[in-house]
Every structure is written in C-alpha cells, then in structure tokens.
Amino acid sequence: MIRFSIGAQRLASGLITGAVLLVLAATPSHAAAKIQRLVSPGGIEAWFVQDATVPLIAMEYAFSGGAAQDPSGKSGVGNLVAGLLDEGSGELDSKTFHERLERRAIELSFSSTRDYFRGSLRMLKDNKDEAFGLLNLALTSPRFDAADVERIRAQVLSGLRRDTTNPTSLASRKFLEVAFGDHPYGRQANGTLDSVPKIDVSDMKDYVRRVIAKDNLRIAVVGDVDADTLGKLLDKTFGGLPAKASLTQVTEVEATKPPQRAFVPLDVPQTVVTFGGPGIRRHDPNFMAAYVVNHILGGGGMSSRLYREVREKRGLAYSVYQSLLWMDRSALFIGNTGTRADRAGETVDAIEKEVRRMAEEGPTQMELDEAKSYLKGSQMLALDTSSKLAQALLQYQLDKLPIDYIEKRNAIVDAVTLDDAKKAAQKLWGQGLLTVVVGRAPQAAAQPAAAPPKAN
C-alpha cells in the first residue's frame, strides 16, 4: 500500500516537479486511447480512458479547497485529515482497514495541496468492488479515533521539527512568506509547530464537512473497466456525499513585486538559494510562451541556460532549476539551487545576471526551436502507466482545459513565436527576483562549520 507521507511536501521540489511533469506529459504513450466524458446514472462526472492492456484500474480525484481552506491560525488541518482518512472508517478500526487494503493489494492515499484535497486509488480489476467500497467508507465515515489522531499528529510534528534544520525546507517556507505574506498561500500546507498542536477533531470534521462534496469534485479514471460498470462504482463511492461544498472564499493575490532578498541564518556548510517572483496564470493566453522560454532558462535540465552558467562554466552548484507554478488564485516562477557557503554570493549574482539577460534579450531562434522540438517530442515517454495518465487527466480538468487538449497541445507549442517568447521573458523576469538565502552569515561563510560538542 502506498501511504501519504505527511511531512514530505516541499514547495521547491514536490509542487514544482508535479506542475512540470503535468505540463510536459501532455501526450500519453498510448496516444490513440480515447478520452471519454462519462456521467454516471447519479450524475457523477469523470474523464475516462478504457484500457485493458493490464487488469488494473487507476483513479485520481480532487475536491476544490485544499490547504487554503485551513482555518486561520490552524494551518495543517487538511494535511492531518489526509493522514487520517484511511486510519479507520465506519466499523473498521485502523488495523482492520489497513488489513483489508493490504490483503487485496489496494493502494489508497490522500493529500492536501494548496488548492485541492486530492486522492488516489489503484487496484486490480478483480478487487474493484472492495477498493471503491473502502474509499467510500474513508470519505463518508472517518473515525478520527484519539489514538490515531495523536499518532499522526506526532508524525507531523516530527517532520516539522526536522524541517527547522533543513535549509531547503526553511527556504521554501520563507519564500512563501515573502511572496504571499498573510494570504492563505503564504501558509505551509503541513502546518507549523505552533498550529498543529491546536488542531482538534472538531476542526477536522468541519473540514471534511465543508470540503468533501459533489459539486467541487473532479475525477479521472484509466483502466480495465467498462463505462457502465464504472458509472455504478462512482455512484456507490461518491453518490452519498453532500451536494454542495461550503468553502471559504480565497482572494486573488499577486506575489510580492521583486526585487527583494531575505536571509535565514543556519550553521550548515551548504547554502540553499530559492529564487522566484510573480508568474503567469494557467489560463493566460501567453502561458505556453512563458512555459517554453522558462524551459530554455531553467527548466531544461542540463541544457538550460542557468545550468550552463552556474554549473558548467563556474562550478558553483551541482544542479539548478526553475519552473512555473500556478495556483487557482495566483502564479509564481520559482527556482532552487545549493552551493558552498563561501560561494553563495557569487551564485546569486550569476543567477541574477542570467535572468536579467533573458529578460532583456529573450532567447535565440535556435534555442526556441530546440525547446519546442523537445517539448513536442519527449511526451511519448511521459505517461507510460495508467496512474500517470489519470493524474494528467485530472490536472487538465483542474486547469479547466478542454477534453481534447492532448490533441491540441503540440499545435499550441508550435504557435509560440520568438516575439511571444521575448515578451513572456520580459513579463516574467523584467523586475528581477525574490531571493531567499539559507545558510551561514556572509562573515562566517569562509570559516568551517562549528564542530559538535564532545561527549563527556
């Protein structure tokens, strides 16, 4: 069974990687598969691909809400709910529930992202009735038994305590604070050492009541099941949920205007640099131009400008990357690297110089052509499993893209002109960067890290 790792969310890695993969993975390896819009007898809608290649079914689903619905002062409620929904439901305690999952090799997980409460279900075709039944129990009858709540809370707090000495975690946290201030997007999805102890069962039950409903539900299913059978399973699983969610309104927000720089002291030899700024929303007509030019600057791995300048030419870091990140109410570009403490200033300068050059000059025609060719040609390897295709189809729905987006996507990439790319580069990077540096103070950077005290 795949379990949700509560403390593992990282803005600069998990969210970015997910966003990048879902954009890159626009053409499934089984490209001829037809995406159907299925509506169950009870009115539950899903995007569906019937695929009998292997006897598996993968379902991804999401409820609008996510960590942005955590009450003020109690960030981490949705994260705790995600950790507890499969810790016993109805008449099944935690041990019995997990035994049922493991006996049938059913994979069930939940997560609370910035805008969505998401779930994943994967099973063998022959175990579909039990799998969907257990999911229904988890969503409609969570127990929140005291012992389970405290065990999961302890896991969350343990992860948060580890984060206090993790420079990447500290940089991500500080970057969100700088970018969004006291807006819900400025909070940590997994909560804080202050907020998590304050969360009680009534907070979690209220979150479930407000967020888990039919009107804010999106579903994608890929696998060996016919439409009629799937429709009945969806009704069995989701049909009994409340008709309407009761969400708190999340306001639109623009990330803080660059340039700004923040420093978080931490006595470690490796300094982490997180940088970014206001991005381009997913529904913006210039989004694809921004995506292509970002690939050239920092999203193309070893072929990107930042990699060449920071790693290959100067040897300042092992890796450096940058990606677009979009939410329902805002957007960012964000990047990350790590370097030796005594070379942090040089690294930041190199990044800022290359970002500024891209903003002023834009890419070359050759860079644009190569990026477009890569983005169109690399997709066939990206979605090689039912689960990956289901994840992508769900994301297309959340991004409000048309059901035939897969077929249109390469033409959209092709349509990006050099002028489009230059305008997108100026819009993204013309103001400079928000930069967060976590490590040793500049005056201490040339000194070795303090030795640990000797045991008596």
Helix/strand/coil for 218? strand
Q: Dihedral (C-alpha) 100, 102, 105, 108: value to the nearest 10 degrees?
A: 80
Per-residue model confidence (pLDDT) at position 247: 97
Bridge-based pairing of strands 45-50 and 217-223 is parallel
Which residue ranges in the chain fall short of pLDDT 70? 1-33, 379-383, 442-456
- Tell me what pLDDT residue 273 has: 97
Distance CA 188, CA 79 (A): 10
Confidence (pLDDT) at 121: 98
The packing angle between helices 77-84 and 146-163, to 10°, is 130
CATH code 3.30.830.10 region(s) in the chain: 6-238, 260-392+399-442
pLDDT recorded at residue 382: 67
Which CATH number is 260-392+399-442 given? 3.30.830.10
For the whole model, what pTM was predicted?
A: 0.88
Tell me how far the alpha carbon of residue 21 is from its chain's centroid. Answer: 10
CA distance 81 to 75: 12
Tokens of 90: 């109805």
pLDDT of residue 444: 52
pLDDT of residue 22: 42
237-254 pLDDT, tens digit per residue, is 999 999 999 999 999 999
CATH number of the domain located at residue range(s) 6-238 in this protein = 3.30.830.10
